[in-house]
């Protein structure tokens, strides 16, 4: 089965997990440009839709998602699996057509549900123990790009069969 949807966590996955907070709230997050290129260019070329589901809410993330063309941004979601199931049903997707990359225990249910799962190298051990693919790179340091490239290779090899 071909992967058609990539769901990504943010803090610790698309970022290194650090959150800079000033007196007026969140001030800064650091994103990786290689991850961004993979999301903006490689995924659409491969026919894979990017989606973000995150527990935090951030205007910074809204801006980054818009830059990358990610129109499926769901923030403030602490129980991610029910939303993921609903969105899959709306799109007529099976779990085998969905991949997920996350780094911590709040991602565990979704990771177990999808057809292909991955995590950054510096993820919580409880995640590393159950995913299909553990990236060599840390969160916010190219792990998402690495996972995207892995996913595209798998899609291409399944199409050749």
DSSP H or E segment with residue 67 = helix 59-68
CA distances from 152 to 40, 45, 66, 158 (A): 14, 10, 23, 10
DSSP H or E segment with residue 143 = helix 143-160
Does residue 104 have a known ligand-binding role? no
Instruction: In whole angstroms, give the CA distance from residue 29 to residue 140.
Output: 10
Does residue 9 have a known ligand-binding role? yes
Does residue 138 have a known ligand-binding role? no
Instruction: State the DSSP code for 133.
Output: E
Instruction: In whole angstroms, give the CA distance from residue 30 to residue 57.
Output: 15
The token duo for 8 is 């990504």
Pairing of strands 20-22, 116-119: unpaired
Residue numbers in the known binding site for Mg(2+) are 9, 103
Residue numbers in the known binding site for substrate are 11
Residue numbers in the known binding site are 9, 11, 103
């Amino acid at each position: 089965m071909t992967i058609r949807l990539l769901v990504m966590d943010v803090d610790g996955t698309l970022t290194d997990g650090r959150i800079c907070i000033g007196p007026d709230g969140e001030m800064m997050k650091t994103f990786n440009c290689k991850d961004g290129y993979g999301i903006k260019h490689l995924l659409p070329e491969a026919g894979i839709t990017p989606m973000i589901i995150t527990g935090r809410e951030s205007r910074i993330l809204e801006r980054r998602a818009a830059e990358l063309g990610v129109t499926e941004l769901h923030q403030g979601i602490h129980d991610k699996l029910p939303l993921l199931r609903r969105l899959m049903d709306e799109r007529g997707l099976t779990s085998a057509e969905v991949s997920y990359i996350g780094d911590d225990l709040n991602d565990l249910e979704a990771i177990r549900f999808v057809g292909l799962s991955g995590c950054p190298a510096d993820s919580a051990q409880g995640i590393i123990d159950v995913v299909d693919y553990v990236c060599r790179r840390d969160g916010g340091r190219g792990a998402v790009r690495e996972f995207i490239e892995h996913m595209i290779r798998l899609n291409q090899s399944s199409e050749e069969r």
